[in-house]
Chains A and B, each alone.
Chain A
């Protein structure tokens, strides 16, 4: 996912809310309907209490759905969630190009002046 470590050409980019939602959706997608909250927290790299808030919001928006497996909730991505991811990645690709200078060097971004996360 495009977090601080994976930004193109080493430019720092702060993870924004949409990046976090996309990260969670991508991790959940890998578990094919059996994503446990702790396992998702390791994949998304965020603590469980913070993740629960994001997951609840994603469920409320019908981007994720929850199902009890062995008495514990497991999550799966919905078709709307897939649609969100598809749009998100397309937009990120265009933003990346728009934020690069024509010579290929990354443009100075707002986040580069922001304090480290």
Chain B
């Protein structure tokens, strides 16, 4: 195939080039609009091309190739130890750039592989995008997989997976499968995602909804957050409402609105829900503070629970030396040794040794040796063992007062 050679430091006007084009370093190419190379184009150093550039294959080595128009390659674009700057659109099959790729217009390829920095002012469409360093895009990103070792700034996204080592800022959109971020993740607007795993800090400025969320460090959601499962090892905060299937909090978790779960809530650390907590069941090793809590199943409380309006479950068990502030309501309420509660409403209420309650309203009430209560109102039976203490005589009633919640 014929080869057209451009010598070092030359200036050339080109239109159609039949065969290959080989340019030495520091060439300037002008055109009437488009340079078309029917074969491969190779640049051995820097080049400045005015107009659009079309070729079968594109390769550059060392230096910067700048194209003021569009770059279209039928096959691959390679830039070895080189920078590629395109003011217009970019289209190729595979794009592999060692140092830096800058595109002013829309970019489209099956695969982008950039060692250093990828900057796009408009949209980018690809099957996969891999960037060793930083990746910034001003328009919509459509891709299956996106990987970057450094910082990533994106606007709207429609991608399957996003894996980033450093800091990620996303405008909004959808990550259909998974987001994995080593460092910091921030979504500015509404974001939908399959799963989110953040080693460091995750921030949602807009509403967000997704599947599994795992945060090793910190989670901040400024608006509502919907999830399937939520696991927080560190500290989590939702300024709106939280909703999902289940949540596990190892550290500290606060919700400014309500938290609604169709499944269990497990808290090893502490959780504050300013409005209502709704869940299927609760296992609390640490502390819970909320306006009201309603569980359809049982609650095991090992630490401290505090409500203003009450805590309702099918069964409540306050474990040894645990504390409850606010009314407790359940079909069965058990206070283990040394546990303390205020008002208790229930069908069956059992206080073990050294357990203490303020007022008890129940069908069947039992105070074991060493347990104590201020008042007891019952409808069926009361069993006060020797050594148990009731500050006022127990009152039998035809009917108990209306239970809270």
Contacting pair A26 B165 (CB below 8 A): yes
Separation in Å of the B179 CB from the closest CB of chain A?
Answer: 14
- Interface-side segment among A40-48, A55-63, A108-116: A40-48
B170 CB–A CB distance under 8 Å: no
Contacting pair A94 B184 (CB below 8 A): no
Contacting pair B166 A2 (CB below 8 A): yes
Report the interface size class on chain A. Answer: 20 to 34
B148-189 CB contact bits vs A (8 Å, 1 = yes)? Answer: 111100000000000001110000000000000011100000
A79-117 CB contact bits vs B (8 Å, 1 = yes)? Answer: 000000110011011101100000000000000000000
In the complex, what residues of B have CB within 8 A of residue A45's CB?
116, 133, 150
Separation in Å of the B28 CB from the closest CB of chain A?
Answer: 26
Contacting pair B234 A94 (CB below 8 A): yes
User: Which of A5, A6, A31 has the most chain B CB atoms inside 10 A of its CB?
Assistant: A6
B111-146 CB contact bits vs A (8 Å, 1 = yes)? Answer: 000011100000000000011111000000000000
User: Which of A23, A26, A40, A86 has the most chain B CB atoms inside 10 A of its CB?
Assistant: A26
- In the docked arrangement, what's the CA distance between A97 and B251, Å? 15
- In the docked arrangement, what's the CA distance between A75 and B235, Å? 35
A35-73 CB contact bits vs B (8 Å, 1 = yes)? Answer: 000111011110000000000000000000000000000
A14 CB–B CB distance under 8 Å: no
In the complex, what residues of A have CB within 8 A of residue B150's CB?
1, 3, 6, 23, 26-27, 43-45
B199 CB–A CB distance under 8 Å: yes
**Which of A6, A38, A43, A44 is B167 in contact with, Cβ under 8 Å?**
A6
- In the docked arrangement, what's the CA distance between A1 and B152, Å? 9
B66-89 CB contact bits vs A (8 Å, 1 = yes)? Answer: 000000000000000100000000
In the complex, what residues of A have CB within 8 A of residue B115's CB?
38-39, 42-43
Separation in Å of the A50 CB from the closest CB of chain B?
Answer: 15
In the complex, what residues of A have CB within 8 A of residue B130's CB?
30
Contacting pair B116 A86 (CB below 8 A): no
**B208-247 contacts to A (CB < 8 Å):** 216-218, 234-235
In the complex, what residues of B have CB within 8 A of residue A8's CB?
184
- In the docked arrangement, what's the CA distance between A71 and B182, Å? 32
Secondary structure of the A contact surface, majority rule: helix
Separation in Å of the A25 CB from the closest CB of chain B?
Answer: 8
Interface size for B (C-beta < 8 A) is 31
- In the docked arrangement, what's the CA distance between A102 and B106, Å? 41
In the complex, what residues of B have CB within 8 A of residue A96's CB?
184, 201
Separation in Å of the B358 CB from the closest CB of chain A?
Answer: 36
- In the docked arrangement, what's the CA distance between A6 and B185, Å? 12
Contacting pair B132 A89 (CB below 8 A): no
In the complex, what residues of A have CB within 8 A of residue B100's CB?
42
Contacting pair B216 A90 (CB below 8 A): yes
Separation in Å of the B199 CB from the closest CB of chain A?
Answer: 4
**Which of B182, B201, B217 is A26 in contact with, Cβ under 8 Å?**
B182
B339-350 CB contact bits vs A (8 Å, 1 = yes)? Answer: 000000000000
- In the docked arrangement, what's the CA distance between A15 and B183, Å? 15
B200 CB–A CB distance under 8 Å: yes
Contacting pair A27 B183 (CB below 8 A): no
In the complex, what residues of B have CB within 8 A of residue A43's CB?
115-116, 131-133, 149-150
Contacting pair A1 B200 (CB below 8 A): no
Separation in Å of the B113 CB from the closest CB of chain A?
Answer: 10
- In the docked arrangement, what's the CA distance between A31 and B184, Å? 21
Contacting pair A90 B133 (CB below 8 A): no
- In the docked arrangement, what's the CA distance between A1 and B150, Å? 4
B334 CB–A CB distance under 8 Å: no
B99 CB–A CB distance under 8 Å: yes
**A3-29 contacts to B (CB < 8 Å):** 3, 5-6, 8, 23, 25-29
In the complex, what residues of A have CB within 8 A of residue B134's CB?
5-6
Contacting pair B149 A29 (CB below 8 A): yes
- In the docked arrangement, what's the CA distance between A30 and B130, Å? 8
Contacting pair A30 B234 (CB below 8 A): no
Q: What 8 A-B pairs have minimum CB-CB distances, sorted nearest first?
A: A43-B132, A26-B165, A42-B116, A1-B166, A93-B200, A93-B217, A93-B201, A89-B200
Task: List 7 contacting pairs A-B, 8 Å CB cutoff, sorted by A.
Answer: A2-B184, A25-B165, A26-B150, A26-B165, A26-B166, A86-B199, A86-B216
